[in-house]
Structure 1
Amino acid sequence: MSKPTFTTALEAEAAFYRALAEGDIEALMAVWSEEEDVVCVHPGGPRIVGLAAIRDTWRQILSGGNRLQIETSQPVITASAAMAMHCVFERVGLQSREQRSALLAVTNVYVRGASGWHMVLHHASPVPDLPDFGELSPRIVH
């Protein structure tokens, strides 16, 4: 299977969330850059570096046919010709359950290379339980 060419960072991000919803580890990993210095931090977890280690953690998360249902909101996007940073809020749940997790603050970073746009960082952290936290978060990018 050849690796897809994502023509924009938004296209790569859509493929990332679609792969999570479908529980498709191969499609998920196709979004990641093939560089070994890629980084992933799951909520409350350690920093994971390298494709093999990242694949293993996603495989564990998606094991047993788990499919994640993720709702993103309030995107803040900063981009240049070669790099894009997408900061979003996520609510994550399993498709088999109605309950959603706490709010997560997520940063996804994409780099454009010869084969298109690919993820180099996914970092998700729990958001403190503050009233209207999203409204307190400025949308201004310096």
Structure 2
Amino acid sequence: MSNPIYTSPDDAEAAFSAALARADIDGMMSVWSEDEEVVCVHPGSIRLVGLVAIRESWRQLFASGSRINVSISHPVRWVSVMTAVHTLQQHVHVEGDDRLHPPIIATNVFTRGALGWRMVMHHASLAPDMDSLHSNDTPHVVH
């Protein structure tokens, strides 16, 4: 089976979300660039470098049997001829779990090549608790 050609970074990002919702490892990996320098950081996890490590992380997540639906809000997109950077909030709902999960802030980086747009980086982290951030007078800049 040949990999699809994503004609825009938005198409690649939509395929990423759809594969996540279906727990589809082949669909997920079809979005990623075949470059070995790809990077993935799941919320609260270590940095994964390379397709083997990234595939295994998604395989483990999907093997849990949990279905994950993600809705996106507050997108900010920067696109040039060969590179696109999307930063957004992801609101995650796990089937069978009625808890309200905090939003996730994600950055997705895509590059354009001979086979269309592909993801080279996905970095996701939990959004800070805004109530506690506003409750004290300390600066909120880490670096």
Question: Fold-level match, TM-score > 0.5?
Answer: yes
Q: Are positions 1:113 and 2:140 aligned together? A: no
Cα distance 1:100–1:4, how it changes in 2: closer, same or farther (>3 A)? farther
Tell me which stretches of 4 or more aligned residues in structure 1 moved more than 4 Å: none
**How far apart are 1:96 and its partner, in Å?**
2.7
Q: How many residues of Structure 1 are paired with residues of Structure 2 in the alignment?
A: 132
Amino acid at match of 1:108: N
Measure the CA separation in 2 of the matches of 1:16 and 1:6. Answer: 11
Q: Which whole-Å deviations, capped at 9, do the CAs of 1:61-99 have from their partners, x for residues lacking one?
A: 111332211111000000101000000001112123222
Work out the percentage of aligned pairs sharing the same amino acid: 47
Measure the CA separation in 1 of the matches of 2:125 and 2:14. Answer: 20
SS in 1 for 2:96: coil
List alignment gaps of at least 5 residues for structure 2: 134-143
Q: Are positions 1:30 and 2:30 aligned together? A: yes
**How far apart are 1:100 and its partner, in Å?**
3.5
Measure the CA separation in 2 of the matches of 1:88 and 1:70. Answer: 11
Q: Are positions 1:57 and 2:57 aligned together? A: yes
Q: Is the 8 A contact 1:67 1:94 kept in 2?
A: yes
**TM-score in terms of structure 1 length:** 0.89
In terms of Rg, which structure is larger? 2
RMSD (Å), alpha carbons? 1.2
List alignment gaps of at least 5 residues for structure 1: 134-142
